[in-house]
Chains A and B, each alone.
Chain A
């Protein structure tokens, strides 16, 4: 589990556990749990609460510069976790019926999740401090230069074999093409880059492998900064655009969801 993707793994495990529970209940009652049943209601209520937390807590923390409760990165991870698990529970709550307003709410939910996933990559394309403060271009350039020096120093102190690997893998990330594709494709690039390093390091002896590990970390950080430096302008435009789409969908989602909850209370829960 990569540290940078820990919230995704945790969300995946949580969804897996919820799925197992869902299948057990389905098997036990020999029917899909209805939305109005105890289990279905529980899924909907908990899922919606998680979605509310997703919507509010991270945004509050992001806007509250004076209240330093936890690092922004941690809040973002929590935001991502609840933003995946909550909608998944709401999806199970539907009992796979998408009629009327409830279906629209589900549709909004799916859209907002997909939008959130895209937004995550746009957001991370903009260099920030651990507290979420954007790093300016000049600072970014200085950090890149410092990393270049660090690379030269480490390479000079390394074995010949390590230097050969560093030379082969000293490549810059792709920065041409549509900005959104570049942002989204970066994940694939980084994965392939990690595979290349893993392949190269297998050929090295133990001492050279330790040097290579050090070099890989510096290369990754330098590449990330370089990519961000080259895409920061596009990323900021995309982020603004994303906000313009994501927030209204979210507002529409929660407005519809509250109406759905009211109708459910009126027509079902409070039914006599």
Chain B
């Protein structure tokens, strides 16, 4: 490089030094005001803040607001030193400044610009991103006018964004719907922001049906009718939706039907009630379907209406109370006359021939109560036994058929056993005479001739009812039964079948020849009656030697 640049020449250095010197002098003289991009705001505050009434008084004191990077204090800190009221708001996150600075980390100068002249507006915000809901009113429902045009700040803030006249709401909304607006203001007042937070879109798009279907009389009601005194969204949405909450005072039933009015009534008309009696404990059937409500529910009293028949139908009781009060045992609501009494539910179930006979056969003259249940009360006159068997017919007879009597002789004092079971009744009870029938054997069974009067009249001493023979003799017997080595096993060992005779021949060595021989040895010739000399069967009993 052969020649230096002009700025690096002597003159260049001189000019540079001169320029910097002039600037430095101005800084010393004006305190940095030469760096100011514009004049500061000169609008006076109501009272001094930080010792000044306006920013313009700080025109030459840049350090009052501007801090160096290396200083601990920020520009916002400098602002808050004077604007102490804002400093106190920052601690409240619900406040605008608290939200913007504490929550969003926004600086003061992000919204409040300076150096725009003495009369310039200090608050210049990026309105597109301004969190308007923080000031208590969201712009969600005010993005566009009805014609699609976008909202501008000045549409609501006619005197600057720092001010808001409530009249702006009413005037604007009156252009949309003057009638409704007038009515609404009259009903709820002009403090729009007391109820509306901007999120609720109770305009043309609002559909009340998504919360509570407005139909019938509800559609023509006023908001305050259901939302009396309500001012906030929470209050509106907390409005009770059950009928009784609003209509309790109109309840002609005095609460007897509970609080679920919709069970019978519709919003169309109270009078057009359609009560479904089937939902109650007393569904209406038969004749009950056609009677007037008042017939059962007198004086509009519904709760506690008795459900038993007799309470209403006592006057209709043709049985004069004989059947008690439970009419439903026989009758149905369809028709009184179609009574279907179930006799089986009574103490006298109908069986056999009793099923087919007419009621009057037993219940004469319509008298049912006290009807005797014993057979003889009705059947005494047809007793073929003439009372001999008492009056407990059921002991032998069943209602199925009189003739199919099945007398249980075991229940008598003379149970039939053995051969007695197979003999005909008339064999013992001649001429149908049953009472007094002797029970001793001899009354019927004469002592056989062959007994020769040897036995007593108590047949059962030897015989059983199974059969006359074999009989077992257990009475005294002259001749010992243990005669011989093995004893005597049967009467016929010694006796003939008629027991009229006996013989000793045939046993042991008692052959006629042997006996004859032995007796002759002793000189005994009359020995035909063995028992005369040997009553116990012993040989030495004869007295003649053995």
Contacts and interface: CB of A to CB of B under 8 A. Distances in A.
Interface string A38-75: 00000000000000000110011001111000000000
Contact of A256 (B6, B23, B62): B23
A264 B6 CA distance: 27
A272 B74 contact: yes
B404 to A, nearest CB: 119
B7 A55 contact: yes
B419 interface: no
A267 B7 contact: no
B33 interface: yes
Nearest to A247: B6
Contacts of B23: 101, 255-256, 259
A2 B164 CA distance: 62
A272 B75 contact: yes
A121 interface: no
Interface in B99-143: 107, 109
B16 A263 contact: no
A260 B107 CA distance: 24
Contacts of A256: 19, 23
Contacts of A59: 5-6
Nearest to A56: B5
A13 interface: no
A272 B67 contact: yes
A221 B12 CA distance: 37
Contact of B15 (A56, A99, A255, A266): A255
Interface in B67-96: 67-69, 74-75
Interface stretch (B35-43, B249-257, B384-392, B443-451): B35-43
Given A97-B37, A251-B19, A255-B19, A271 B5 contact: no
B1 A255 contact: no
B218 interface: no
B35 A263 contact: yes
B7 A250 contact: yes
The winner among A56, A66, A99 for most chain B CB atoms within 10 A is A99
Interface in A135-186: none
Given A248-B12, A248-B15, A100 B37 contact: yes
A267 B64 CA distance: 12
A1 interface: no
A66 B36 CA distance: 46
Nearest to A64: B1
B2 interface: yes
Given A251-B15, A266-B68, A100 B34 contact: yes
A263 B23 CA distance: 12
B26 to A, nearest CB: 8
Given A101-B26, A251-B16, A271-B66, 19 more contacts: A35-B37, A63-B2, A63-B4, A99-B37, A99-B39, A100-B34, A100-B37, A101-B23, A102-B35, A247-B6, A247-B7, A247-B11, A248-B15, A250-B6, A251-B12, A255-B15, A266-B68, A267-B62, A272-B74
22 contacts: A55-B7, A59-B6, A63-B3, A63-B4, A63-B5, A100-B36, A101-B34, A243-B6, A247-B6, A247-B15, A248-B15, A251-B15, A252-B16, A255-B23, A256-B19, A256-B23, A259-B20, A264-B35, A266-B66, A266-B68, A270-B69, A272-B74
Question: When A and B form their complex, which 3 residue pairs have the shortest distance between CB atoms, in order from nearest?
Answer: A247-B6, A255-B19, A100-B34
